[in-house]
Amino acid sequence: MDLWWIAYFLIVVISIGGLIGTIMISRTQDENYGKSTKQNLVRLTVIYAVLILVSLGALALYIYI
């Protein structure tokens, strides 16, 4: 098995783990904290989604070339 596959797999697993961790942390909040958390959570979720898509795109480009 090529080492690049392992590297990209680890990137995806760590990114998904970070996303799940972010969502789990955002569930524990007090009353005032919840107002700004929603916007931050949406931004972080978008960042993780873009990161995963870019990583998969880079993997596809590497395989194609």
Residue 29 placed within a domain: no
**What was the pLDDT predicted at 5?**
81
Residue 28 placed within a domain: no
**What was the pLDDT predicted at 32?**
63
Buried b (16+ CB within 10 A) or exposed e, 11-39: beeebeeebeeeeeebeeeeeeeeeeeee
Q: What residue numbers bound the domain in which 45 lies?
A: 3-22+37-64
Residue 27 placed within a domain: no
**What was the pLDDT predicted at 25?**
79
Residue by residue, pLDDT tens for the chain (65 residues) are 577 788 888 888 988 888 888 888 777 666 666 667 777 888 888 898 998 999 889 888 888 87
Residue 53 placed within a domain: yes
Q: How many domains does the chain have?
A: 1
Cα–Cα dist 65/52, whole Å: 20
Residue 50 placed within a domain: yes
Can you give the pTM of this predicted structure? 0.49
